[in-house]
Amino acid sequence: ADLAVQRQGLAESGELPALEVLARKFGLRPFERDLLLLCWALEEDPAFSWLCAYVQDDAHARFVTPHLALGLLCGDQSDREEGRRAFLAGAPLRRFRLLALADDERGLPQSQRPLRLEERVAAYLRGSNVPDHKITFLLHPIPEAPIAGAQLAIVEGLLRWVQSLAAGEPWPPFFLTGPPGSGKHLVAREFCARLGLQLCRLEAKSLPLADSERHEFLHLLERETILSHLALYLDVSELDPGERPIMAAVRDWIERSGGVLFVGGRERWQTIRSVVHVTVPKPDAAAQRALWSASLEGISHTVDGQIEAIVQQFDLEPQLIPQAVNSAVDQARRRASGSVVQAEDLWQACREQVGWRLGDLAQRLEPCYSWEDIVLPEDVFRQLREIADQVAARPTVYETWGFGARLPRGRGITALFSGPSGTGKTMAAEILANHLKIDLYRIDLA
């Protein structure tokens, strides 16, 4: 009774002890909470081990068993019947791996098998909330990045959906679909941040293929999401349907996983569970401008007038924009003249972000020619200049004049150079790339 009064006082002051917090997080009943405390006593004070042996009249039984717990903590038969439910595999203590029931190695009935407090839970009760090392190496926190436009509207819509739910109502998985570069994981990350959750990426190919191992991992991870306020992001965009064991493991995970789960893919999968499906589009030009402005906020720079040209030339994924800004800042710091980011720094950083993706598909050429190096008839030379002017004028035509709204696709510039070998086709391409400060690649169509 005295402890109940103290507990109530701590609850009112917002200073709940770890055991009470744990009980509330996992929805434990009083018997389950007291059982945790009994097992923790053995962890903290060896004298309790001898008391267990004394009570059970067995010098070797220095542990808690279900039978002992029911005898100590239940007052009558009805309490004992209620208490037995705590030892079911689907009950919170075992489902969330708070307590472990020893394997049946000696043919003992379940009621006489040792109960052990999990190491992660014991540490939590001592006041140390450090994530479980057995699973954290598989989780990769998704870093913060700004979002804008349609992506931000999706987050706000999901928050309204949360507010419409009844208290305690479980959430289905969120299935986010959209093209590569749409920032699906950033939408999930911003949503989680608004709710005080840390979003971590779980690699689909790291899931155990054996059912027993995968289900054990699922329960451990489910416990960790509650203790560490985590949400999971599972990317299925690049999975090969031909890899059937991996596909089966991923589908099983989606069907069984608890907690807050986001699945990102190019298109929605058919699932038995109901899901919240959201289509995430790629950020348009206005959203990209907002992302650039947000990423440059607080940074000394002189690139405001170049944002339109950068947006038109580099259709960067949302998470790459802050990376480009950080790279530009590093370049500026290496200059002797100061650390003010200039348009050239940002332009070069964007080229670095997009250049590495072609891999073995193309050979990169280093443009070394300028307009003065090529000799052409006047009409052909004028055509090359018109190509350069058309690229330079894209921000004005598409944004200022509003033609971009009528041309949602195909905004690139394509030029066909024809003529015999040695007439200057490659040189002309190098001159244009050098003038426009963009990368040039040679692609062998064979």
The DSSP-derived string for 43-67 is HH-THHHHHHHHHTT-TT--SB-HH
Q: Is 261 exposed, middle or buried (0-12, 13-18, 19+ CB in 10 A)?
A: buried
Q: What is the pLDDT along the chain (446 residues), one digit of tens a residue?
A: 898 888 788 888 878 889 989 999 999 999 999 999 999 999 899 899 999 999 988 888 899 999 999 999 998 888 999 999 999 989 999 999 999 988 766 677 888 899 999 999 999 999 899 988 888 888 999 998 889 999 999 999 999 999 998 887 889 999 999 998 899 999 999 999 999 999 999 999 889 999 999 999 999 999 999 999 999 999 999 898 889 999 999 999 999 998 899 999 999 999 999 999 999 998 888 888 899 888 888 888 888 778 888 888 888 888 889 988 988 888 888 886 667 888 888 888 888 887 656 667 778 888 888 898 888 899 999 999 999 998 888 878 877 787 777 776 666 788 999 988 888 899 999 999 989 888 888 888 87
pLDDT at position 105 is 62
DSSP 8-state symbol, 277? E
pTM above 0.75, yes or no: yes
How far apart CA 16 and CA 18 sit, in angstroms, is 6
Half-sphere exposure of 433 (CA within 13 A, CB side): 18
pLDDT at position 175 is 96
Tokens describing residue 444: 């062998």
Please say whether the beta carbons of 327 and 356 come within 8 A: no
**Residue reference for tokens 């306020």:** 229
Question: What percent of the chain lies above the pLDDT cut of 70?
Answer: 96
Please say whether the beta carbons of 192 and 231 come within 8 A: yes
Number of DSSP helices (H) and strands (E) in the chain, helices first: 20, 10
pLDDT at position 177 is 96
**Residue reference for tokens 């109502």:** 169
pLDDT at position 410 is 63
The DSSP-derived string for 295-348 is HHTTS-B--GGGHHHHHHH----TTHHHHHHHHHHHHHHTSTT-S-B-HHHHHH
pLDDT at position 342 is 84
pLDDT at position 358 is 64
| Closest residue by Cα to residue 288 from 313, 267, 259 | 313
pLDDT at position 5 is 87
**CA geometry: angle 366, 372, 378, nearest 5 deg:** 115
